[in-house]
Amino acid sequence: MAKDGDPLESIYRATLATWGEEAQYDQMIEECAELIASLKHLKRGKVEDQAIIDELADVTLMVGQLTWMFGQERVAEAIAAKTKKLHRLLLAEGES
Ligand SMILES: [Mg+2]
């Protein structure tokens, strides 16, 4: 679960208790879609950087929420494995 002293843990817990598990998945999907749309708008000059920053904040909060729900240690292990894979890919690129 969340690491000791995570200041957002009480918010994650309250959010889950208030709106439930399915709503968290739906909110994550919605926030990711909003970030995607904002990035498309940024490329076309329709929004300023702040729109991206705001959407990144929303997605970051939802990543925290779902990470807490699925287990911080499990996600940390997956991040470590993927980081290791990325490092190997970068090394291979450097050799070509
Ligand atoms: Mg949003």
Mean pLDDT of the chain: 94
The verdict on residue 22 lying in a domain is: yes
Q: Would you place residue 1 in the very low, low, confident or very high pLDDT band (cuts 50, 70, 90)?
A: very low
> Can you tell me the mean pLDDT for 4-21?
90
Per-residue pLDDT reduced to its tens digit, 36-65? 999 999 999 999 999 999 999 999 999 999
From the CA of 40, how far away is ligand 1's center (Å)? 14
From the CA of 78, how far away is ligand 1's center (Å)? 25
The verdict on residue 4 lying in a domain is: no
The yes-or-no verdict on residue 3 having pLDDT over 70 is no
The verdict on residue 72 lying in a domain is: yes
Q: Would you place residue 95 in the very low, low, confident or very high pLDDT band (cuts 50, 70, 90)?
A: confident
Ligand 1 being an ion, which residues bring their Cβ within 5 A of it? Answer: 31, 34, 55, 58
Query: What is the number of H-type helices and E-type strands within the chain?
Result: 4, 0
pLDDT of residue 2: 46
Closest CA to 17 of 63, 72, 69: 69
The verdict on residue 87 lying in a domain is: yes
Number of domains in the chain: 1
The verdict on residue 91 lying in a domain is: yes
From the CA of 34, how far away is ligand 1's center (Å)? 5
Structural domain of residue 84, as residue ranges?
A: 9-95
pLDDT of residue 5: 56
CB 1 within 8 A of CB 71: yes
The verdict on residue 35 lying in a domain is: yes
From the CA of 94, how far away is ligand 1's center (Å)? 37
**pTM for the complete prediction?**
0.88
The verdict on residue 1 lying in a domain is: no
